A and B are shown apart, each in its own frame.
Chain A
Amino acid sequence: MKNNKSWNKIKNWPLLLPVVALILVMAVNIIYDAVNGNNPLSFFMITLQQTTSNGTILYGRIIDILNRGSEAAILAIGMTLVVSSSAGTDISVGSVMSLCASFCCMLLAGYGVSSTTTLAKPLIVGILGGLLMGVVCGMFNGTLVAYFKIQPMVATLILFSAARAIGLLLCNDLIVYVRNPSYAFFGSFVGPLPTPLIITAICVAVMSILLKKTALGMYIQSVGINDKASRIAGLNSKRIIFLTYVICGLFAGIAGIVNSSRITSADSNNIGLYLEMDAILAVALGGNSLGGGKFNLAGSIIGAYTIQAITTTLYALGVSAAQAPVFKAIIVILIVSIQSEPVRNFFKKQSAAKQAKGVA
């Protein structure tokens, strides 16, 4: 009986799904290393390494995952809110990332310049410009979803296709390189730690504080669960949905700048490619229902890093970047199938039948 209770507690733990997934990925790594005769725990090893460009930095697979997973984690924050409030996903985030990066680089390098080492405008103008572009994209999506009542995924499909193209236009069809250390900073290291990781931490912290110190979190969930009742209780449902898209756009902007800084360029065709998938997958893997309502930000963040761990592991197993989506697609389908009504009912019936048998 006691056993049963603690089992139930575990079963209802909101972070169960992402943590189990993370453990599974780690297990695969340990087995892989063991089979190949490496140190089985090499996955967890963190060492200090001297580099010529960044001084002494932390090095290890976990650090790599935390570093590379930053963009997905940042996107997952915004995506979580969008899914919660509108029961739909913003599939434009990857393209918006690319657009923001292009706009930022275009401002910093000047229009039509393909490579520069000196900044045409102060760094802050470029960064703010990029973020502002993200907000504008978010407002566009939010207006269509909240005020024109267009299905979220159709509404965001417009920017999904157009944003990347507009980015190309802003860059005059070029890959714009901004080879300036001050710009490269966002994608490199602060002391021994990767900057993207720190930026992610700040984003998560700011969002958590915002959710904790304002009523935003409750508003979003309330609207997502029952927007009619929320309206009667005095919430402005439309404005709240709009707001979540704006926030999502802003985070896409941040992620875009981080990604572009990493490669010190705006490669419109490749920045944020397939990342919307990672962000959505992170939300689903984080134990959040894609049908909206309650959300768990921590779950989404863990989910994002789990996906990065999966990606890194796939690469280690010899799967190329272009092939990786196959596995992610399969995971998405598995998760949403488990969450779907008929499958859940099926399991409920099974366990009920089991119980009935046990009683008899």
Chain B
Amino acid sequence: MKNKKVRLNGHTILLLITIALFAVLYAGGCIAYGAKGFTHLQTFCNILITNAGLICVACGMTCVMLTAGIDISVGALIAMDCMLLAVGMEKGIGAVPMILIVLLIGVVFGAFQGYLVGYLGIQPFIVTMAGMFFCRGMTAVICTDQVSITEAINPTFYKWANAKVIIPFGGYVNNKGKYMAPYVRPGVVVALLVLILIFIMLRYTKFGRSLYAVGGSAQSATMMGLNTKMIRMKAHILSSVLCSIGGICYCLNTMAGSVTQALGLEMDAISSAVIGGTLLTGGVGNVFGTFFGVLINGTISSIVKTNGKLASSWPNILTAALLFIFIVIQSVFAAIRERSRNK
């Protein structure tokens, strides 16, 4: 019974550390850069706006990681999606059909990766790494130049990208005496909707729970009559579809397609999930934690940007360092649990 409490808190502690880390980082940013406007609610909104795509991607990543898998093709898939959107709209196809095409590609691409992982039993890392190179290359096949989406090309998409969703509180008066109401972009609304839906799915649907079961013990899940192969495949489909949604959000921010877009985004998604308490070994984690993981990554970038003097590679290094720290903590926790179980 004494053991019970300690173990119970293992994952909760990780989540608490994460939330506390976010709070400390954000408070630190406010203290250090308060003069530069870091304290305004808009700063937080900007973090959400910049990372709307990442939130969707990280939700998908969390689902795959729950099954003890991983998906590193996401960054490249986003690049391909953006390129497709840009080139497609340039060719005169409407915004809505293009979005449907991108989503469909997400389904097909995810199904293919999922089949290789689930049914052929190939390591998810190898499969999705090949997927990553495939998408990156494919982006270049579609077009090697940077393609921008301007108002002239597609007014609808342009309108979405520049739409503001005003938040009715937390505004401030700027130095010209004008009231600045905080706002977010439509992408943020989509991302938050995805977040809530995935949260509900993971908690209240058969499929959601089966993801946890497969990650907890694939053998047991099979013994209990679950179709683990199919579940793995579906997880990859989900990841690729969410990634495509994320890609659309991302494109609304950048309004362009280019080969080097979203380079290393898979890293941000994975580290967000891990920092948010998702175990690499599968079976533990939820998108609530992942959301905070994204916020931490966003805050770091935001601080570096606000500072203005730090090298642009710092966010990358810090994210990797955080990932390292959390991976090691997970490994140590796992070792402790193993030991206590043997006793």
Contacts and interface: CB of A to CB of B under 8 A. Distances in A.
Contact of A290 (B123, B267, B280, B327): B123
Interface string A146-171: 00111101110111111011101100
A151 B136 CA distance: 25
Given A91-B129, A155-B327, A326 B138 contact: yes
Contacts of A337: 116, 120, 122
A320 interface: yes
A165 B138 contact: no
Interface residues of B, number: 43
Interface in B82-100: none
A329 interface: yes
A340 B313 contact: no
A34 interface: no
B271 to A, nearest CB: 8
A327 interface: yes
A342 B120 contact: yes
Given A326-B141, A327-B137, A144 B327 contact: yes
Contacts of A322: 136-137, 139-140, 144, 259
Interface string A322-360: 111111111011001100111100000000000000000
A117 interface: no
Size bin of chain A's contact surface: 35 or more
Interface stretch (B157-165, B198-206, B239-247, B315-323): B315-323
Contacts of A173: 311-313
B122 A340 contact: yes
Please report whether the interface of chain B is mostly helix, strand, loop or mixed according to DSSP: helix
Interface in B113-172: 116, 119-123, 125-127, 129-134, 136-141, 144
A157 B331 CA distance: 16
B137 A333 contact: no
A342 B118 CA distance: 11
Interface of A: 88-89, 91, 144, 148-151, 153-155, 157-162, 164-166, 168-169, 172-173, 274, 277, 280, 290, 320, 322-330, 332-333, 336-337, 340-343
Given A159-B320, A329-B130, 18 more contacts: A144-B327, A154-B70, A157-B72, A161-B267, A162-B316, A165-B314, A165-B317, A169-B313, A169-B314, A274-B133, A323-B137, A325-B134, A326-B133, A332-B126, A332-B133, A336-B122, A337-B122, A340-B122
